[in-house]
């Protein structure tokens, strides 16, 4: 079945409004890509989870609609959905179903993080190493790829979880994935030996994606997912929060309150240069705060101070 594809250049500031308007008129999927990406391996971000979008200054937004959708009527609906946006630069083309699926398959290959952790698309055979008896393999559905491990913020967290497991500090523990997106971090923790995991996200689509991925990975009995207002108040020995630096600072009291005494935390989604502000915000609650870098992105880890 063919699809109607809409592409439109926009800025970081405009992106949330454009995306809301597109979803409001029935977009089947929305992707973002850097407008100035020259690298051949530039990755699109498929239906990003809350706080996980690497907000480039200028980007190209792409949306898919059913193939029979009339472009002119769609533009009229979009203009009515948000009269303050400029849709004059929108471009349309027809794409085949297999072309869209092929694009995902071509972009995502199995990825290894640390010693044991693998993220493998459902359509791909297990590579050498991922078939080892002690490998922690997370399978992701291309239709629900909120987070796939390709972005440095996610990779930094996966590497941290893998190292934690290697030190024997994850087995049998309960884990909180704050801003879970696809649930990739919670799922990896479970595959690495965590007793249970809880995901929290303010996007209902992320909740659906995480539950679906947990079922497909055979860990649904150890996984629970909540919208923020529904999350039971409790503390965890292991917490990971892969959201933007501004949200980490704003939510410091909430995030810190979820970490048990002497528990460990990983904070990511932090651009280089922002780590100082995050460390300052969390210093009253955590000891041993350390920043690690990958490309332009940072991860901050620490140990919860006893109350």
- Which CATH number is 270's domain given? 3.40.50.150
Binned at pLDDT 50, 70 and 90, residue 20 comes out as: confident
Show the tokens assigned to 1.
Answer: 């079945």
Show the tokens assigned to 37.
Answer: 């990406």
Last residue of a domain, one of 105, 123, 153: 105
- What's CA 223's distance to the chain center, in Å? 17
Show the tokens assigned to 302.
Answer: 């620490």
**Does one domain contain both 204 and 297?**
yes
**Does one domain contain both 286 and 240?**
yes
Last residue of a domain, one of 47, 80, 105: 105
Q: 83: exposed, middle or buried (C-beta count within 10 Å: 0-12, 13-18, 19+)?
A: exposed
Please determine, for residue 235, whether its predicted confidence score (pLDDT) is greater than 90.
Answer: yes
**Does one domain contain both 145 and 252?**
yes
Amino acid 36: pLDDT: 52
Amino acid 117: pLDDT: 95
**Does one domain contain both 149 and 219?**
yes
Please determine, for residue 42, whether its predicted confidence score (pLDDT) is greater than 50.
Answer: no
Between 11 and 254, the higher pLDDT residue: 254
The pLDDT mean for the chain works out to 85
Q: 39: exposed, middle or buried (C-beta count within 10 Å: 0-12, 13-18, 19+)?
A: exposed
- Which CATH number is 58's domain given? 3.30.70
Amino acid 59: pLDDT: 80
| DSSP label at residue 170 | S
91-109 tens-digit pLDDT: 999 887 655 555 555 556 7
Binned at pLDDT 50, 70 and 90, residue 1 comes out as: low
117-135 tens-digit pLDDT: 998 887 778 888 888 999 9
**Does one domain contain both 145 and 275?**
yes
Please determine, for residue 27, whether its predicted confidence score (pLDDT) is greater than 80.
Answer: yes
**Does one domain contain both 9 and 33?**
yes
**Does one domain contain both 93 and 181?**
no
**Does one domain contain both 139 and 221?**
yes
Give per-residue burial for 99-121: e unless 16+ CB within 10 Å, then b: ebeeebeebbebbbbbebbbbbb
Amino acid 53: pLDDT: 42
Between 304 and 35, the higher pLDDT residue: 304
Amino acid 41: pLDDT: 39
Last residue of a domain, one of 105, 120, 147: 105
Distance CA 210, CA 184 (A): 8
- State whether the Cα torsion 30-121-180-205 is positive or negative: positive
**Does one domain contain both 49 and 125?**
no
Which structural domain, as residue segments, surrounds residue 252?
A: 109-304
Could you list the residues known to form a binding site for S-adenosyl-L-methionine, using ranges: 154, 179, 201, 242
Between 103 and 66, the higher pLDDT residue: 66
**Does one domain contain both 169 and 250?**
yes
Please determine, for residue 44, whether its predicted confidence score (pLDDT) is greater than 60.
Answer: no
123-178 tens-digit pLDDT: 778 888 888 999 999 998 654 444 555 578 888 999 999 999 999 999 999 999 99
Provide the domain count of the chain.
Answer: 2
189-228 tens-digit pLDDT: 999 999 999 999 988 878 888 998 999 999 999 999 999 9
Could you list the residues known to form a binding site, using ranges: 154, 179, 201, 242
């Amino acid at each position: 079945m063919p699809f109607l594809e809409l592409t439109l250049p926009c800025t970081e500031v405009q992106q949330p409004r454009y995306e809301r308007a597109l979803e409001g008129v029935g977009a089947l999927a929305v992707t973002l890509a850097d407008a100035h990406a020259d690298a051949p391996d530039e990755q699109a971000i498929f239906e990003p989870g809350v706080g996980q979008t690497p907000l480039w200054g200028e980007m190209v937004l792409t949306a898919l609609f059913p193939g029979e959708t009339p472009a002119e009527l769609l533009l009229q609906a979009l203009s009515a959905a948000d009269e303050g946006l400029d849709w004059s630069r929108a471009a349309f083309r027809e794409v085949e179903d297999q072309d869209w699926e092929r694009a995902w398959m071509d972009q995502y290959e199995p990825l290894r993080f640390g010693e044991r952790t693998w993220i493998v698309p459902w359509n791909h055979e297990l590579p050498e190493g991922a078939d080892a008896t002690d490998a922690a393999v997370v399978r992701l559905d291309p239709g629900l790829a909120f987070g796939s491990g390709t972005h440095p913020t996610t990779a930094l967290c996966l590497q941290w979880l893998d190292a934690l497991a290697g030190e024997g500090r994850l087995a049998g523990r309960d884990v909180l994935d704050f801003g879970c997106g696809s649930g990739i971090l919670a799922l990896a923790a479970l595959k690495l030996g965590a007793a249970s995991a809880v995901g929290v996200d303010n996007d209902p689509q992320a909740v659906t994606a995480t539950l679906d991925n947990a079922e497909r990975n055979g860990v649904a009995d150890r996984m629970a997912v909540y919208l923020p207002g529904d999350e039971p108040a409790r503390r965890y020995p292991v917490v990971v929060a892969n959201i933007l630096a501004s949200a980490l600072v704003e939510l410091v009291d909430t995030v810190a309150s979820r970490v048990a005494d002497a528990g460990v935390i990983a904070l990511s989604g932090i651009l280089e240069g922002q780590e100082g502000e995050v460390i300052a915000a969390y210093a009253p609650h955590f000891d041993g705060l350390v920043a690690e870098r990958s490309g332009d992105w940072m991860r901050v880890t620490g140990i919860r101070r006893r109350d």
